[in-house]
């Protein structure tokens, strides 16, 4: 019983939980019994070794947890970065394609493609001024104003002027209202008698509006976006 009591005192001493009275009792016993004192010292050494081993194991586990957490955090950050880049690229691509396939942009492309082949001037100073104002308005994206100028030009016997006038009006209507069915029919009628380079550009436009990319990804959006400007079409 006494031996058990002293073992409990040693345990509480090693754990730092011994009371002052019990510590005095333990020290008195160590002084009185050298074997017991050696036993206590050996127990202290063993306890210290166990503490060091436990601390090393805890540090090892903490490092492993930190490394695993950093890997998880790194994967999450990488995943979020990839997701963000994908969203940004998708949004940028959508914006670019929407702009590229917009009626106004397609109209400008065709207008410039034909304009590079000709230098238009009217049959007199007044007509030349109307041509200049109409083309300038188109360049300024004032399509309704440009169409008014082109419509005010008289029918000309000059085939080039006549085709250019009709072509310019069609492009203004496209920029304002998009490729509506009535516009497509008018473009097809124009195409029947149009020479180059009007023919190639007209065919390119009609082919674009029949392309799967335009039909499936942009037709609905563009159709909705031009609804508000339909009353402007003459």
pLDDT, residue 121, reads: 57
User: What is the C-alpha separation between 72 and 137, in angstroms, rounded?
Assistant: 59
pLDDT, residue 165, reads: 92
Give the H/E segment covering residue 154.
none
pLDDT, residue 227, reads: 45
Encode pLDDT of 87-133 as tens digits. 998 888 888 878 888 899 999 999 998 887 766 655 567 788 888 89
pLDDT, residue 169, reads: 95
Dihedral sign for Cα atoms in the order 58, 64, 67, 68: negative
| Sequential pLDDT tens for the chain (234 residues) | 466 777 777 778 777 788 888 888 878 878 888 888 888 888 888 878 777 878 888 888 888 887 777 777 778 888 888 889 999 988 888 888 788 888 999 999 999 988 877 666 555 677 888 888 999 999 999 999 999 999 998 877 888 888 999 999 999 999 999 899 999 999 999 999 999 999 999 999 999 998 887 877 665 554 554 444 444 444
User: What is the C-alpha separation between 29 and 179, in angstroms, rounded?
Assistant: 106
CB 137 within 8 A of CB 145: yes
Place of tokens 């998708």: 90
pLDDT, residue 221, reads: 54
pLDDT, residue 183, reads: 95
pTM of the model as a whole = 0.61
Any idea where the domains of the chain sit in the sequence? 2-74, 103-232
CB 160 within 8 A of CB 153: no
pLDDT, residue 122, reads: 53
Q: How many CB atoms lie within 10 A of CB 61?
A: 10
């Amino acid at each position: 019983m006494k031996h058990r009591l002293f073992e409990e005192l040693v345990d509480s001493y090693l754990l730092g939980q011994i009371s002052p009275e019990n510590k005095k009792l333990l020290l008195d016993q160590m002084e009185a019994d050298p074997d017991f004192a050696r036993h206590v010292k050996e127990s202290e050494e063993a306890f210290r070794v166990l503490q060091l081993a436990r601390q090393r194991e805890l540090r090892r586990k903490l490092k492993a947890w930190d490394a695993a957490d950093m890997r998880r955090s790194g994967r999450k950050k990488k995943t979020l970065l990839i997701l963000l880049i994908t969203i940004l690229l998708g949004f940028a691509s959508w914006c670019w394609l929407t702009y590229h396939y917009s009626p106004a942009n397609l109209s400008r492309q065709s207008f410039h493609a034909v304009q590079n082949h000709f230098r238009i001037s009217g049959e007199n100073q007044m007509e030349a001024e109307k041509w200049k104002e109409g083309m300038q308005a188109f360049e300024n994206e004032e399509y309704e104003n440009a169409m008014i100028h082109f419509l005010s030009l008289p029918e000309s016997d000059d085939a080039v002027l006549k085709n250019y006038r009709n072509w310019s009006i069609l492009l203004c209507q496209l920029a304002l209202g998009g490729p509506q069915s009535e516009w497509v029919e008018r473009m097809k009628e124009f195409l029947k008698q149009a020479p180059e380079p009007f023919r190639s550009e007209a065919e390119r436009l009609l082919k674009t509006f029949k392309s799967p990319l335009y039909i499936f990804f942009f037709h609905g959006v563009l159709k909705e976006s031009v609804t508000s400007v339909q009353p402007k079409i003459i």
